[in-house]
Structure 1
Amino acid sequence: METRKRSLVKAVIWNLIGLTVMAVVGLIATGSVALGGTMALINTGVGLVMYVGYERLWANIGWGRHV
């Protein structure tokens, strides 16, 4: 089973990557650093919460694991 700390670290790293990509996409789409950055921060916050929950849910499901 994966620890909560590991799940959280994975989520934070993944979301930092996503934040960077979304900021660039937001900048390209809107032409505004402020609006693109705001979109990226909102997306990252929502994504972080969803990813941690998703990882913790799957950590408790035994299906497909070899013991």
Structure 2
Amino acid sequence: MLMLLDQVKKSKYKQDKGAEKPLRSMFKAISWRVVGTLDTIGISWILTGEIKTALAIGSVELVTKMLLYFGHERIWDRINYGRQ
């Protein structure tokens, strides 16, 4: 009986280990958006020549793309394609 419980715990651990928690997705989204937003601000500054406009574009883009990325990650977390 004890061996059976150990097997259940081990198999559940393996399943949980492969799943991504929402908090991890949130931190990944934030770190990626920092990189992406700096890129957008740089490109916007080069194209417009105005740092104020570049920062405004980057600010809006930061929020919208972070939300889109988080949603995208959560949807993909529910899809088993490519997992073992």
Question: Does the alignment reach a TM-score above 0.5?
Answer: yes
Amino acid at match of 2:21: T
Instruction: Please give the root-mean-square deviation of Cα atoms over the aligned residues, in Å.
Output: 0.7
TM-score by length of 1: 0.93
Inter-partner Cα distance in structure 2 for 1:19 and 1:62? 30
Equivalent residues in 2 for 1:42-53 (5 A)? 42-53=60-71
Segments ≥4 residues shifted beyond 3 Å: none
Q: Which residue of 1 aligns with 2:80?
A: 62
Unpaired segments ≥5 residues, structure 1: none
Matched, 1:30 2:83: no
TM-score by length of 2: 0.75
Inter-partner Cα distance in structure 2 for 1:29 and 1:39? 12
Cα-to-partner distance string for 1:1-30 (whole Å, 9 max, x where unaligned) = 100110000000000001111111111110
Residue-pair matches, total? 66
Matched, 1:15 2:15: no
Overall identity of the aligned pairs, in %: 27
Higher RCO (CA 8 Å, separation ≥ 6 residues): 1
Q: Which residue of 2 aligns with 1:4?
A: 22
Inter-partner Cα distance in structure 2 for 1:21 and 1:29? 12
Inter-partner Cα distance in structure 1 for 2:81 and 2:59? 34
Which has the larger Rg? 2
